[in-house]
Structure 1
């Protein structure tokens, strides 16, 4: 596990990168996975990383596991990389936004 100072920094970076609430993320994952005939069960909506982010948002810092820490680093890195990749055609930007929203980051938010 990482030391307390590194955990503090990661916790802050993660919550800065994940700018959607757990309720917003859960709703987005359900809507994104819904089709014409059915909506998935809440615990089955979204990909594994989206579900991991949702679980982390519902935890206290002291309850984080090593897997949670790995997910948090991955999300922070992904959001940072994607923030630099903007500026494409509108359809590409919409896809990029939707991909980021599956891990809890809405790039249209300040």
Structure 2
């Protein structure tokens, strides 16, 4: 299990979208067009993006165990998704990029 310092460091590197950009992205049709909804109408990634905004609004010293757990989940998701490499062409408008952006990472940013 990673320490809070390890999670924090990876989070700072991987969650590269500023809160204002992430908020605007989450309001877009493209953001809401990707991901597994599990039949609930909102994708896991879109829900995660809203949670990321909550976490980014806190100081490191104010983060609780649920925040740290979600941050670890976000870091793991971004790393796994980046390892897939995405499409060779049209990355800018790909579901791969859109999904990553829901999780706070713009691979082109």
Q: For this structure pair, what is the TM-score category when the shorter chain's length is used for normalisation?
A: 0.7 to 0.9
Shift of 1:7: 1.5
TM-score by length of 1: 0.75
Alignment of 1:68-107 (within 5 A): 68-90=67-89, 94-107=94-107
Cα distance between partner residues in 2 of 1:80 and 1:12:
13
Cα distance between partner residues in 2 of 1:47 and 1:57:
15
Is 1:29 equivalent to 2:33 in the alignment? no
- Tell me how many residue pairs correspond in the alignment: 97
Shift of 1:89: 4.8
Residues 13-43 of structure 1: CA distance to partner in whole angstroms, max 9, x if unpaired?
1111100000000000012368xxxxxxxxx
Q: Give secondary structure in 2 for the equivalent of 1:25.
A: helix
Q: Which runs of 5+ in 2 are unaligned?
A: 33-44
TM-score by length of 2: 0.76
